[in-house]
Amino acid sequence: MNLPEINERTTIVEEASVMFISRHRGLRAKYGNQFDDIFNAFSQAIINLLKESKDKVYLSDYQKEIEEQLEKVDKEFTLTYGEKVKILLDEMKFYSRMLVKAEREI
């Protein structure tokens, strides 16, 4: 794969991440998932990244839509495997911070 300079690529991945996050927040509003659903769906989405379509496992429609949105972002930005994993993990990290904050308020 012929990728642009690192600085330019970093900007591209940041733009892709913002687009994915925006789409995911829409899914979150649609499904109203709890933290365990979010973490399970994102974990399985990462596992599915390297699988053939016929071998992918879907735990929920929510997870399937996460993967569909990531594919749309990938088509627009031509992301590498590592970049897709980073985008998914960054969103999981955001929700893990929210969970810790919620637990501390209890």
pLDDT tens-digit series, residues 52-88: 999 999 999 999 999 999 999 999 999 999 999 999 9
Residue 80 forms part of a structural domain = yes
For residue 1, is it within any domain?
no
Judged against a pLDDT cut of 90, whether residue 4 lies above it is answered with: no
Q: Is 78 inside any structural domain?
A: yes
Q: Which residues contact 17 (CB under 8 A, 6 or more apart)?
A: 86, 87, 90
Q: What share of the chain is helix, strand, coil (3-state, %, to 5)?
A: 80, 0, 20
Report, as an integer, the average pLDDT of 12-37.
94
Contact status, residue 81 vs residue 49, Cβ threshold 8 Å: yes
Amino acid at position 64, single letter: K
How far is residue 15's CA from residue 102's CA, in Å, rounded to a whole number?
29
Under 8 Å between Cβ of 48 and 56: yes
Let me know if residue 64 belongs to a domain. yes
- As for how many domains the chain has, the answer is 1
> Do the beta carbons of residue 13 and residue 86 sit within 8 Å?
yes
The residue range of the domain holding 78 is 6-105
Return d(Cα 65, Cα 67) in angstroms, integer: 5
Q: Tell me what pLDDT residue 8 has.
A: 87
